[in-house]
Structure formats: structure tokens, C-alpha cells
Amino acid sequence: MDPRRPETPLARTRRARRVDRALAERYPDARCELDFRNPFELLVATVLSAQTTDVRVNQTTPELFDRYPDAAALAGADVRDLEEILRPTGFFRAKSRAVLGIGQALVERFGGEVPARLEDLVTLPGVGRKTANVVLGNAFGVPGITVDTHVARLSQRLGYTTSDDPLVVEKDLHPLLERRDWTMACHRLIFHGRRTCFARRPACGACPVAALCPSAGIGENDPERAAAMLKG
């Protein structure tokens, strides 16, 4: 792309879809990296993933869901027991109160089931649009844009948005991709952010979308050194 010429909305849309196709080739296994078996487990795991890694959450949730397999069981949990289980995830007191509140709210207002509407999900303790879109997209098949730190960072680097506000980023991404692709496109951006387009020093020389990225060149440009930086 030519940085000297303003990009039209149509050109940006075409470029965004080319980027997504290229990332699909690089990351054919892109997916939600939280382990879950049902919407309840994904909802709780996503809340727990704040300020920690998916790996740490996946190490913690088996014991949690063994003791509290559904909303009714979680609603009756002792918060001190939850704190002990969730301690490894960080901010465990706040997270324990949040998941306890989620269990109670699901039982009291939704018959113990996770609702499949964003408007309902965001009324649950500790659940914002990001968590709601994760649950809708991955547990219910409802397309959504999930703006985590990786999606926000890459959206700016790729010239999709100039905003730091997750809601604005979400709105800016909506018209750039087919609605049916929203969930998977976010997974691919997250994979790319974790494996190639790092926050401090991206591996530009090994990036499959460098030719389409207005920020190309801000990181390591030597192909061999960049390839050595790749993760996953």
C-alpha cells in the first residue's frame, strides 16, 4: 500500500479481507484457546482470563468445574473455597466474587442457563462486551468482534482504527469483514498477536501480511532473525 495516498473505505475493506485470508493460511488452527465443554464453562473461563494467560486458566478450571459443574453448584459455593482454587489466576478475590455472582445471577434470572443474547450477558457480574462476544461466538455460533489487547493493538497497526476505545474499535471493524467471519477473524488476529506481531517488537520480517500493513518495518525486519522470534 502507498502511505502517500489516502485509503478509501472500499480499499480498506478489501485490504482487511486480504489480510484475513492471509492470516487464515498462516493460522489454520486459530480458535478460542480456553478449554470449555459448554457455554457455562466458557463464560466462567473467559471472566477468569482477565490479567492472566489462557494457559493458566486452563490449568485452574478443571478443579473449579469438578467441584462446581454448573450454575446451581457455583451459586452455592463458599467464596473462601473459590479464592483458594482461583488464587493462581491473580486478582483471585475479585474473580471469586465475580464468578459466584455469575452463578447466582444465572440461577435467579436465567433458570441456571447461560443466555444467548449480548444484552443479557452484559448484565452478569464481571461480563462486558468482550466476554459476551467470546461466549456468543464460540459457544452459540453468533458472530461477534472480540476486542482484546491483541485485536486492539493489531487493528491500530493495520490501520483499521485510530481509537483505543474497545467499543469504537469493534464498530470500526464491523464493516471491514463479512459478519460470518467476525469471530474467526478475531481468533486469527489474536493468534497473530501472540505469535508474530508482538507488542514490543513485532517480527515484521516473517509476517505474512507485511505487504498489506502500514506499520510494516517497526519491528525486526531481517527475515532470519524475525523467523527466530516466532512463537507457536
Range 76-112 burial, b when 16+ CB lie within 10 A, else e = ebeeeebbebbeebeebeebbebbbbbbbbbbeeeeb
Verify whether residue 171 is a known catalytic residue.
no
Verify whether residue 130 is a known catalytic residue.
yes
Catalytic residue among 130, 164, 165, 181: 130
Torsion of CA 161, 166, 170, 176, to 10 degrees: 20
On whether the CB atoms of residues 185 and 160 are closer than 8 A, the answer is no
Catalytic residue among 148, 172, 181, 222: 148
Closest CA to 98 of 45, 169, 33, 19: 45
Grid cell of 213 as nine digits:
500493513
State whether residue 115 is helix, strand or coil.
coil
State whether residue 181 is helix, strand or coil.
helix
Which positions are annotated as active-site residues?
Answer: 130, 148
